[in-house]
Amino acid sequence: MASLSTAEPSTLDAGATAPGGYAARPRVRARGLAHSLVDDFGARIRDGALRPGDKLPTESEIMQAFGVSRTVVREALSKLQASGLVETHHGVGTFVLQPRAGGVFRLDPGEIATSVDVLAVLELRISLETESAGLAASRHTEEHLLAMRQALDDFERNVEVAGDTVAPDFRFHLQIAQATGNPYFADIMSHLGTTIIPRTRISAIRKLEGGAYLSRVNREHEEIYAAIARRDPESARAAMRIHLTNSRERLRVAQEAAQRADAAASVTRPAG
């Protein structure tokens, strides 16, 4: 797997022109570089400078225009995807999406403790399943691919009829672990069980089933499957990381909103 640059990125002079003909805003030399990129592109999307269907510049073009590393660009694109602003098709590019009708889901304050635990599990899964996907791309058999395909077909079918999507979702991830040829990956996944799927434990996510949320999960699954099927370990790792990072980001944003709501309610709540 190619290594990513970790050198501290340089700043871009104000007024410099980014790909697409718009002037890039000056960057800050801090850990908030990815968030700054997200704010920049997010503002352009909301302002209509970038419209639904428009293709974003390539990673290399963004790196050059904004003076940041590839790691920063990929983190920013992942956050934009998690916010439902863009969608990436590997080998094709990243495109602006139509605004979602309801925006990002919100958690009830009572679910904050549960969401913290789910976030912790997602962090574990990012480490475990990113490598699992890479190994599966190199080691899978046709039987493994067939089992993954069946799980994805069951998932898509159940989305259409408002059926159970948790079981095929988990089965897909478990099949990837089994395709590594290393029994310990599958053992860990089996031990964790379906509770690794965030919507089994967060009711605010369950309310989105049957809508754009599950369609998005399905598309992310298909990207993972396609990379594994063509025996492309690096793309499989990237697709899995994007999928799980998107889940983590959606939950993190919802958790922060719930915390703010809880804090505001405590300020206005009558004493005694």
CATH number (domain holding residue 223): 1.20.120.530
Identify the band that residue 161 occupies on the pLDDT scale cut at 50, 70 and 90.
confident
Domain range for residue 197? 109-268
Domain assignment present for residue 37? The answer is yes
Same domain for 119 and 88, yes or no, is no
- If residue 50 lies in a helix (H) or strand (E), which one and from where to where? none
For residue 262, what pLDDT is reported? 65
**Co-location of 134 and 172 in the same domain:** yes
Return the number of other C-beta atoms located less than 10 Å from residue 266's C-beta.
9
Query: How many of the other CB atoms lie within 10 Å of CB of 122?
Result: 19
In a domain, 122, yes or no: yes
Close Cβ partners of 46 (under 8 Å, ≥ 6 residues apart): none
Q: Are residues 165 and 262 in the same domain?
A: yes
Query: Looking at residue 5, what is its pLDDT?
Result: 33
Tens digit of each residue's pLDDT (9 = 90 or more) over 100-121: 544 444 445 444 445 567 778 8
* Verdict on whether the full-model pTM lies above 0.75: no
Same domain, 133 and 72: no
Same-domain pairing of 75 and 146 = no
- pLDDT band at residue 199, thresholds of 50, 70 and 90? low
Evaluate whether residue 254 is within a structural domain. Answer: yes
Average pLDDT over all residues of the chain = 76
pLDDT band at 29 (very low <50, low <70, confident <90, very high): very low
Same domain, 127 and 225: yes
* Residues 180 and 146 occupy one common structural domain: yes
Shared domain check, 196 and 63: no
Residue 12 shares a structural domain with residue 89: yes
User: Which of 99, 132, 159 is the last residue before a domain boundary?
Assistant: 99
CATH number of the domain that residue 45 is part of: 1.10.10.10
Residues 137 and 168 grouped into a single domain: yes
Same domain, yes or no, for 57 and 155?
Answer: no
Range among 20-24, 93-97, 201-205 with highest mean pLDDT value:
93-97
Q: Which of 48, 81, 99 is at the close of a domain?
A: 99
- The residue from 50, 80, 99 where one domain ends is 99
Residue 11 pLDDT: 36
Report whether 168 contacts 160 (CB < 8 A): no
Given a cut of 70, whether residue 54 has pLDDT beyond it is yes
Contact 206, 57 (CB under 8 A): no
Residue 46 has pLDDT above 50, yes or no: yes
SS3 117: helix
Could you tell me the CA-to-CA distances from 209 to 49, 111, 206 in Å, in that order?
32, 18, 5
Same domain as 153, residue 88: no
156 located within any domain:
yes
Assess if residue 211 is contained within a domain.
yes
Work out the average pLDDT over 64-78.
86
Task: Quickly list H helices, the chain.
Answer: 33-47, 59-66, 70-82, 112-139, 142-160, 166-179, 183-192, 203-206, 212-229, 233-268
Amino acid at 247: S
Residue 104: inside a domain, yes or no? no
The tally of domains found in the chain comes to 2
Measured from the Cβ of residue 234, the count of other Cβ atoms closer than 10 Å reads 12
User: Quick check: is 154 in a domain?
Assistant: yes
In this predicted structure, what is the pLDDT of residue 111? 46
